[in-house]
């Protein structure tokens, strides 16, 4: 019997890593949509929100080929995390609070056409936290140089030692990983509340150009919202919040994360060309 070569040893090690995780991976079927999910806790499955249909029933495909019905416990569009409930007896994935370094090997374990799948690549970007285009707080930027099909979204990203460091999703031009810290934080709130608290000003805003920068004109006001209570009216032009000049309506929306609820902010505006100021207690965005 010949001694194993470095490549055969690596191949065996990677196969073992995949084999340990694959039993905790399920397929997710919703209206005209297929994705992957993984068991986060007993009876709870995390999947990619973007790959989950907005209507119709949801089914889970188990590793043994059987299917069962699942319900949506909660979903957060801003972090691309959805949580499903199902009567499922599958060992949960053990998530590790690690962020792999640039250039590290990465394995995405998922499903494709209801069968287990694996893809090998490397970490092409590893950095600090960031905000998604929808305003979600992502705890670390992790990008993978690996090919992932739409049905593999929601798969688990593993490092070479088999530690699960996040969930693979499709970004605009690359494969992104929603890191463990974000999953644990968001999924815990979805489990208990079914939603993520978001800040709410109760304003409809339109960006406007000013001689000295950018402003946001108030187009409508929720009469029961926090801005109305502070005295802000339709037609006011907001120019700064907490002494920080406004850089745009989208940038203002991104500051209204979960931690903003209950905070008191100083809003500087112009009314009929005259400066006015308000103290607004940020509320919680009502459910749609």
Structure tokens at 52: 């989950």
pLDDT band of residue 286 (cuts 50, 70, 90) is confident
Q: Report whether pLDDT(121) > 70.
A: yes
Q: With a cut of 60, say whether residue 188 has pLDDT above it.
A: yes
Domain ranges of the chain: 1-196, 199-284
pLDDT of residue 114: 81
Is the pLDDT at 1 greater than 60? The verdict is no
Fold for domain 1-196? Thrombin, subunit H (2.40.10)
- Please state, for a pLDDT cut of 70, what percent of the chain lies above it: 99
In whole angstroms, give the CA distance from residue 182 to residue 153: 16
**At residue 99, does pLDDT exceed 70?**
yes
Q: What is the CATH number of domain 199-284?
A: 2.30.42.10
Residue 78: how many CB atoms within 10 A of its CB?
Answer: 20
Identical topology for domains 1-196 and 199-284:
no
- Residue 3 pLDDT exceeds 80: no
Residues 24-76: pLDDT tens digits?
999 999 988 899 999 999 999 999 999 998 888 999 999 888 999 999 999 99
User: pLDDT digits over 248-258, tens only?
Assistant: 888 888 788 77
């Amino acid at each position: 019997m010949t001694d194993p070569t470095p490549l055969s040893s690596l191949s065996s090690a990677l196969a073992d890593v995949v084999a340990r995780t694959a039993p905790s991976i399920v397929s997710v079927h919703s209206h005209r949509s297929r994705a992957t999910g993984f068991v986060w806790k007993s009876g709870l499955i995390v999947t990619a929100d973007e790959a989950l249909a907005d209507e119709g029933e949801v089914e889970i495909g188990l590793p043994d080929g059987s299917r069962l019905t699942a319900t949506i416990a909660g979903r957060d569009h801003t972090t691309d995390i959805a949580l499903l409930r199902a009567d499922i007896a599958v060992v949960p994935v053990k998530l590790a609070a690690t962020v792999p370094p640039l250039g590290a090997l990465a394995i995405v374990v998922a499903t494709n056409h209801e069968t287990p799948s694996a893809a090998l690549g490397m970490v092409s970007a590893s950095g600090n936290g960031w905000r998604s285009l929808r305003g979600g707080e992502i705890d670390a930027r992790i990008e993978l140089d690996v090919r992932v099909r739409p049905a593999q979204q929601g798969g688990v990203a593993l490092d070479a030692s088999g530690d699960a460091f996040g969930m693979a999703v499709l970004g605009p031009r690359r494969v992104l990983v929603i890191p463990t810290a974000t999953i644990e934080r968001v999924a815990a709130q979805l489990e208990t509340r079914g939603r993520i608290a978001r800040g709410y000003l109760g304003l409809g805003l339109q960006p406007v150009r000013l001689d000295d920068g950018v402003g946001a004109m108030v187009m409508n006001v929720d009469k029961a919202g926090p801005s109305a209570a502070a005295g802000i009216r339709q037609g006011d032009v907001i120019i700064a919040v907490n002494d920080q000049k406004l850089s745009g309506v989208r940038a203002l929306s991104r500051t209204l994360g979960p931690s903003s609820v209950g905070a008191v902010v100083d809003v500087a505006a112009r009314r009929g060309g005259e400066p006015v100021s308000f103290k607004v207690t940020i509320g919680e965005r009502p459910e749609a």
